[in-house]
Structure 1
Amino acid sequence: MNSFETDIGRAVLSRGFIAGVLLEILILFTAGFDSDLFRMTVPVLCTLPYSTAWLADYQTGFIKSYLPRTGVTSYILGKILSCGISGGGVELLGSWIYVCLKYDENMQWSPLLIFVSGMLWAVLAAVLAALSNSRYIAYGGAFVLYYVLVILHERYFQTLYCLHPYEWLAPEHTWIFGEWGVVFLITGLMLVLFCLYDVILRRCIEGV
């Protein structure tokens, strides 16, 4: 069984994905890309599709019948990749629909940065879900860490712009390699989270 195909189908066709896209469109029509409302809701909306999928499988016992047909590695990769892609997809699809409906030639937005930012916070939420075994921490934890980074930058480390989440969505400073410099940084962070997720889930699966 191809775990990734099954998981990505479940993620993209979920009520959480649809709700996230609709909320993103509403937020953008209300405030736009340059608003704090849009920026602060990124780590929330991206968690809706699939960040707690592991918990659902584990708590319902579904994993006991599903895991033998996929294998541990395939199962873990399917979960984390689908979580990241669907999380980034919520942000990208909602933003793209807004841009198409708004149709403003002067609008500044980066599809790539919005997508990878959504991926990062969705993956972080999945790691928190696996670590805490709590849906509430999964949905709220990513937002809390995002907000902490914003506060730390604005109050104490204003020159450390590379760790400011707003900068990852719409860079205001000069990055090495430009926009791709942001992508490389986010990709590196996601690789660390992937490794953490793998370690946590393997330990949990041993007890199933």
Structure 2
Amino acid sequence: MNSFETDLKRAVVSWGFGIGLVSELAILLISGFDSDIFRMCVPVLCTFPYTTAWLEDYESGFLKACLPRTSVNSYIMGKLLACGISGGLLETLGCQIFLIVKNDEKLNISLGLIFMSGMLWAVVSAVLAAASNSRYSAYGGSFVIYYFLVILHERYFKWMYCLYPYEWLAPEHTWIFDESGVILLVGGICMVFGCLYYIILWRCIKNV
């Protein structure tokens, strides 16, 4: 059983992905890419496709039927990768459609950074959901962390731009390795949370 392909299909071909994509496109068309509304919605919309997948499998009993047909490693990695990719893809696809509709050469949007940000916050939400067994944490947890980092930067530590979520979407400062530096930082943070997700699910599955 190819767990990753199954999970990715469930994530992308879902009501959550469709609702998130339509919502993001509406926000972009109304407010624009540089608006605070769009930026603050990033850690919320990317959670719609697949951050609660583990909870759904666990609570419904589907996990017991699934595990005999795949390995624990494949199951966990399938959930993790599908969550991150679908979150990043939702954000990227919404921005890509927005660029096509606007057809404005002045718009400077890096789809690579958009994808990485969506992936990161989707994985963060999945970790919070798995750790707390709560859907509220899945849909709101990453937003709380995101907002905390924004406030921390804007009110107290303006010099610490490397931990400013807005900077990860559209850099305004000079980074080492330029855009690649942002991708390396966000990718590194994502890997840390990915490891946490793996550990949490491994412990939970051992008790099933």
Q: TM-score range by the shorter chain?
A: over 0.9
Deviations 1:168-200, CA, capped at 9 Å, x for gaps: 000000000000000000110011011100110
Query: Which residue of structure 2 lines up, in the alignment, with residue 86 of structure 1?
Result: 86
Structure 2: which 5+ runs fail to align? none
Aligned counterparts of 1:7 and 1:92: Cα–Cα separation in 2: 19
Query: Which residue of structure 2 lines up, in the alignment, with residue 143 of structure 1?
Result: 143
Shift of 1:207: 1.2
Q: Give the letter for the 1:77 counterpart.
A: M
Q: Give the letter for the 2:179 counterpart.
A: E
Aligned counterparts of 2:99 and 2:70: Cα–Cα separation in 1: 39
Aligned counterparts of 2:56 and 2:198: Cα–Cα separation in 1: 17
Query: Which residue of structure 2 lines up, in the alignment, with residue 157 of structure 1?
Result: 157
Deviations 1:84-123, CA, capped at 9 Å, x for gaps: 0000011000110111011111111110000000000000
Query: Which residue of structure 1 lines up, in the alignment, with residue 134 of structure 2?
Result: 134
Q: Give the letter for the 2:59 counterpart.
A: Q
Aligned counterparts of 1:28 and 1:191: Cα–Cα separation in 2: 29
Query: Which residue of structure 1 lines up, in the alignment, with residue 120 of structure 2?
Result: 120
Shift of 1:70: 1.0
Deviations 1:129-162, CA, capped at 9 Å, x for gaps: 1000000111000000000000000111110000
Q: How does the TM-score come out when normalised to structure 1?
A: 0.99
SS at match of 1:118: helix
Q: Give the letter for the 1:190 counterpart.
A: C
Q: Give the letter for the 1:82 counterpart.
A: A
Aligned counterparts of 2:67 and 2:154: Cα–Cα separation in 1: 45
Q: Give the letter for the 1:136 counterpart.
A: Y
Structure 1: which 5+ runs fail to align? none
Aligned counterparts of 1:173 and 1:101: Cα–Cα separation in 2: 28
Q: Give the letter for the 1:75 counterpart.
A: Y
Aligned counterparts of 1:71 and 1:56: Cα–Cα separation in 2: 19
The RMSD of aligned alpha carbons is 0.5
SS at match of 2:47: coil
Aligned counterparts of 2:57 and 2:98: Cα–Cα separation in 1: 34
- Report matched runs for 1:128-207 at 5 Å: 128-207=128-207
Shift of 1:44: 0.2
Aligned counterparts of 1:189 and 1:70: Cα–Cα separation in 2: 28
SS at match of 1:188: helix
Aligned counterparts of 1:148 and 1:52: Cα–Cα separation in 2: 23
Q: Give the letter for the 1:64 counterpart.
A: K
Q: Give the letter for the 1:144 counterpart.
A: V
Query: Which residue of structure 1 lines up, in the alignment, with residue 21 of structure 2?
Result: 21
Query: Which residue of structure 1 lines up, in the alignment, with residue 44 of structure 2?
Result: 44
Deviations 1:27-55, CA, capped at 9 Å, x for gaps: 00011111000100000000000001000
Aligned counterparts of 1:156 and 1:114: Cα–Cα separation in 2: 26
Aligned counterparts of 2:205 and 2:17: Cα–Cα separation in 1: 27
Aligned counterparts of 2:97 and 2:33: Cα–Cα separation in 1: 13
Q: How many residues get paired? A: 208
Q: Give the letter for the 2:63 counterpart.
A: I
Q: Give the letter for the 2:48 counterpart.
A: L
Shift of 1:68: 1.3
Identity across aligned pairs (percent)? 65
Q: How does the TM-score come out when normalised to structure 2?
A: 0.99
Query: Which residue of structure 2 lines up, in the alignment, with residue 6 of structure 1?
Result: 6
